A and B are shown apart, each in its own frame.
Chain A
Amino acid sequence: MEITIIAETSGEGIHPVTEQLVGAASSLGGVITVLCPGGRGSDDASVISGVSKVISLQGDCFSSFDSGSWSTVMAPFSQGIVMASSSPSGRELGAQIASKIGVPIVQDITGIEPGYKVTRSVYSGKAVETSSLSSPCVVTLRQNAFEGASGGGSAEVVVVDNSSEVSVSVREAIAKAGERMDVSDAEIVISGGRGMGDPSNFSHLNEVADVIGAAVGASRAAVDSWDEIPHSMQVGQTGKTVNPTLYIAVGISGAIQHLAGMRSSKYIVAINKDPDAPIFGVADYGIVATWEDALPALKEELGKL
């Protein structure tokens, strides 16, 4: 049986979720080929344990993201079960590849068993769907839902220089305002809501985040109220879905739209002055306190570790 993995890249290297894709693929058994768009991360991918072959795709079309042209080049190499990350680009590319090879796609799965039975969260996390599908097909996997494969492999790297006509031309790149970690990538996320009172108070969240290497997120209410808090920080239904090992919600009441984006976090800590805030309903550890009192204490305690 063949499994094709679409490498998720980060800059010129590989994104750690790629190791999780290989980990999930290895649990099914089979011959694993990793496709590296633009050749990015080819060397990194070749040393992931379990990978048989890496195809480094070096056509001109891979210089900027165009799911149409990328998928045209990648579809002929997409054999058996095709796996990608359920990142925005992974979903888009996965759907285009599925369409080009004429197979269905199931997005954002959190479990896969031989046979193939997949599970995923639907209805904003209010239900879990289990479905069965057969190879060939495309699936995208939720980040941090699968164990990553270790290093130590030595797969051959094959270079392919195919390109396809580009139909999306990038005219201007606009860099992110801050250089903080993306909430989707972080093991620990600390988020603030409108309870923070003022956007300038997010600096207190940043301070705690710096101590434990966390990313800083925000609720929709905070993003909608304050221009200083960009949408890229928003966790929840019209923002990002996160799956960290620890999620700390500060001054967030816990509207259903927010819970939809973070309830699958492994551990949730809520800090809120309102003891009846719905966020306490999903929290493993709740602290009824103002952020003004709790955050300095949190920074100090975490600093001691």
Chain B
Amino acid sequence: MTIAVLLKQVPDTTAKITVSGGRVDQSSVAKWSTSPYDEYALEYALQLKEAGAGDLVAITCGPDRAAKMLTDAAAVGVDSMLHVVADTTEMDSKQIQSILAAAIEHCGADVVLCGKQAADTNSGSTGPGIASMMGAACVGMVSEVMVEGDSFSALRASSSGNERVSVSRPCLFAFDKASTELRRPNVKGIMMAKRKVIETVSASDLGIDMGESQVIIESHDSPPEKPPGQKFEGADSVQTVVLKLREEANVI
């Protein structure tokens, strides 16, 4: 029994994004991090592993630099790591999902945890798309998951609040922000992680023929500059601002 957690390395939220030649300049990103929702998926994947639900493999698809993220995951307790080395920046949703679904199959995992969306592309297609390919039950907006005998119980957000749902293998959980604390690696974990070997493969090693992307990125642009706003001192200006909202902005 194997559990897989899918991780994506993204520019840290605090990193400056520059656009050059119609594309976001990846080389100018000062700091790369694990996508925030993926960190919650990792935490709960570790909890499932500790509850005896299976061995835990961390999988990523990305360039060489993404390997560091897998080593960080090993330092908090992931058993093995698979790195599909590829440039995903121009891939469409189908291509990236085929690679990751093949990677999951390669690892023999039937329980998958991932973030609900990545902080760079902000899409949320990967988890449900993979679940469809695997024929797995798909639970999105998850903030908690636990083992219950042969099945799993999860808490997910719904339009009217939250729902507790249960699913059996094969299943996929796409994580929202959870209220749990994220664990940080200790020295022993970091030392152990250094000795673990990352399995590195290419898409073709996994038997994937991706074909051409059916979504062509025409350009990236910096967001339009907003004209500087008007700033007022003191609560007496509230009246002025409300008047402007009514007469200038016409929004109230």
Segment 283-299 of A: residues with Cβ below 8 Å from B: 283-290, 293-294, 297-298
Interface residue A280 (Cβ < 8 Å from any Cβ of B): yes
Partner pick for A131 among B168, B176, B216, B238, CB 8 A cutoff: B216
Does A12 sit within 8 A of B, measured CB to CB?
no
**Is B123 a contact of A104 with CB atoms below 8 Å?**
no
Name the CB-closest residue of A to B139. A168
Does B106 sit within 8 A of A, measured CB to CB? no
* A108 with B123, Cβ < 8 A, contacts A96-B129, A132-B218, A168-B139 known: yes
Kindly identify which residue among B126, B131, B229 contacts A280, using a CB–CB cutoff of 8 Å. Answer: B229
What is the count of residue pairs linking A and B with beta-carbon distances less than 8 angstroms? 269
Nearest-neighbour CB distance to chain B for A71, whole angstroms, equals: 7
A88 to B244, alpha carbons, bound, how many Å? Answer: 35
Report A132-146 CB contacts with B as 1/0, cut-off 8 Å. 111001000000000
Q: Is A31 an interface residue (CB 8 A)?
A: no
Which listed residue, A95, A117, A127, touches B222 by the CB 8 Å rule? Answer: A127
Residues of B close to A94: CB separation below 8 A: 125
Interface pair A170/B165, CB less than 8 Å apart: yes
Render B164-190 as a binary contact track against A, CB cut-off 8 A, 1 for contact. 111110010010110100000000000
Cross-interface CB contact of B230 among A121, A275, A285, cutoff 8 Å: A285
Q: Which of B45-53, B76-84, B152-160 makes up part of the contact surface?
A: B152-160
Residues of chain A in range 199-248 having any CB-CB distance to chain B below 8 Å: 212, 231-232, 234, 237-239, 241, 245-246
Q: How far is the CA of A118 from the CA of B174 in the complex (A)?
A: 26
Partner of B167, one of A64, A100, A169, A285: A169
Q: Are A288 and B234 in contact (CB under 8 A)?
A: yes
Instruction: Report whether A123 and B141 are in contact in the complex, using a CB–CB cutoff of 8 Å.
Output: no
Per a CB cutoff under 8 Å, which of B121, B161, B165 touches A175?
A: B161
B164 touches A287 (CB 8 A): no
List, in ascending order, chain A residues with CB within 8 A of B213's CB.
104
- The secondary structure that dominates the B interface is mixed
Contact string against A for B residues 221-252, beta-carbon threshold 8 Å, 1 for contact and 0 otherwise: 11110100111111111110110111001011
- Are A168 and B94 in touch, CB under 8 angstroms? no
- Give the most central of A108, A275, A287: most B CB within 10 Å: A287
Query: Min CB distance, B50 to chain A, in Å?
Result: 23
Q: Which residues of B contact A96 (CB under 8 A)?
A: 128-129, 131-132, 138
A102 located at the interface, meaning its Cβ lies under 8 Å from any Cβ of chain B in the complex: yes
Chain A residues near B231: list those with CB within 8 A: 275, 280, 283, 285-288
Chain B window 4-22, contacts with chain A (Cβ cutoff 8 Å), 1 for yes, 0 for no? 0000000101101101000
| Least CB distance, A43 to chain B, in whole angstroms | 20
Q: A47 near B: Cβ within 8 Å?
A: no
Task: For residue B134, give the distance in angstroms from its CB to the closest CB of chain A.
Answer: 10
Interface flag for B1 (CB, 8 Å) = no
Chain A, residue nearest B19 (CB): A127
Interface residues of A in 85-123 (CB under 8 A from B): 88-89, 91-96, 98-100, 102-108, 117, 120-123
| Contact residue among B133, B238, B249 (Cβ-Cβ distance under 8 Å from A298) | B238
> When chains A and B are docked, how far (Å) is the Cα of A238 from the Cα of B166?
25
Please, could you name 25 A-B residue pairs with CB atoms under 8 Å apart, sorted by A?
A: A68-B138, A89-B140, A99-B133, A103-B94, A105-B123, A125-B223, A132-B216, A133-B216, A167-B137, A168-B165, A170-B165, A171-B153, A176-B161, A231-B143, A237-B119, A245-B251, A257-B13, A260-B13, A267-B245, A267-B249, A282-B226, A284-B230, A288-B232, A301-B238, A302-B242
